[in-house]
């Protein structure tokens, strides 16, 4: 359920975005990290503009379902304490039913995207497997060796250091350690199945391209930028296998600095 669907349409948005969020941020900001003094006037006009912008961002998802003039009227009436076109009970009924409609719409959109991505991924992999150099494992993972290293191969329980670029089959980039300017380090038993399987094929020093079917990636739970049932492509360089950290040795029992003498009678 979206953030908007968990709040009221206007009043709670104004409170949470324009007032509550600001107060929370202020409370969490260390003294040394406070922003510099504002370069614009903090007057009624600019405060009103800021609140309007926050409310507008909160309403973006439903902009086609609302009449902004009616929203403005209801907001003004509520602030003035005047009678509105709906009672609180009627507004609650509208909100609950509207939330159901939004949820149903979201589910339908997710299913349509999942079906589309699944088909496109299957078509892509069917063509890709016949390309020169592409190999397919029993699980359906496809890979292409761009550079074969001479080091050891990691095990499923190992932690590896890699550089990588992740794209969708249409070439859209969604993640890259190169962009962050530093390699990534992670345990192979804590990543998607396609990564875990693919990295175990690679000797240290290798660079492979992995073509990961959706069921070996994120499946129907693909994050927003990736989407449900997406087939993914990763260019991966295996830089190293990290040594497990040594368990700290137990400290030796402390010895008394001076031998205690028996008390004199």
Give the active site residues. 164, 174-175, 192, 218, 234
Distance CA 265, CA 262 (A): 9
Count CB atoms within 10 A of the CB of residue 114: 18
| Pair of tokens at residue 247 | 């368990």
Distance CA 202, CA 208 (A): 8
68: left (phi over 0), alpha (psi -120 to 50) or beta: alpha
Could you write out the three-class secondary structure of the chain? CCCHHHCCCCHHHHHHHHHHHHHHHHHHCCHHHCCCCCCCCCCHHHHHHHHHHHHHHHHHHHHHHCCHHHHHHHHHHHHHCCCCCCCHHHHHHHHHHHHHHHHHHHHHHHHHHHHHHHHHHHHHHHHHCCCCCEEECCCCCEEEEEECCCCCCCCCCCEEEEEEEEEECCCCEEEEHHHHCCCEEEEHHHCCHHHHHHHHCCCCCCEEEEEECHHHCCHHHCCCCCCCCCCEEEEEEEEEEECCCCCCCCCCCCCCCCCCCCCCC
């Amino acid at each position: 359920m979206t953030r908007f669907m968990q709040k009221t349409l206007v009043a709670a948005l104004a409170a949470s975005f324009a007032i509550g969020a600001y107060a929370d941020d202020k409370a969490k900001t260390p003294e040394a990290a406070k922003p510099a003094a504002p370069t614009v006037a903090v007057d009624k006009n600019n405060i009103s503009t800021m609140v309007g912008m926050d409310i507008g961002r909160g309403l973006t998802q439903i902009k086609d379902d609302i009449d902004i003039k009616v929203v403005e009227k209801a907001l003004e009436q509520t602030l003035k304490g005047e009678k509105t076109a709906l009672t609180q009970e009627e507004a609650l009924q509208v909100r609950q039913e509207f939330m159901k409609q939004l949820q149903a719409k979201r589910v339908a959109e997710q299913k349509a995207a999942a079906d589309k991505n699944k088909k496109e991924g299957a078509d892509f992999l069917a063509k890709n497997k016949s390309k020169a150099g592409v190999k397919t494992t029993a699980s359906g993972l496809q890979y292409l060796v761009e550079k074969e290293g001479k080091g050891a191969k990691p095990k499923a329980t190992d932690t590896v250091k890699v550089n990588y670029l992740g794209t969708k089959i249409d070439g859209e980039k969604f993640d890259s350690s190169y962009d962050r300017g530093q390699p990534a380090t992670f345990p192979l038993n804590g990543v998607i199945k396609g990564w875990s399987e693919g990295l175990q094929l690679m000797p240290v020093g290798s660079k492979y391209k992995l073509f990961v079917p959706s069921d070996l990636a994120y499946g129907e739970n693909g994050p927003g930028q990736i989407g449900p049932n997406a087939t993914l492509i990763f260019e991966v360089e295996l830089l190293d296998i990290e040594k497990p950290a040594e368990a700290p040795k137990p400290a030796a029992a402390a010895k008394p600095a001076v031998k205690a003498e028996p008390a004199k009678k």
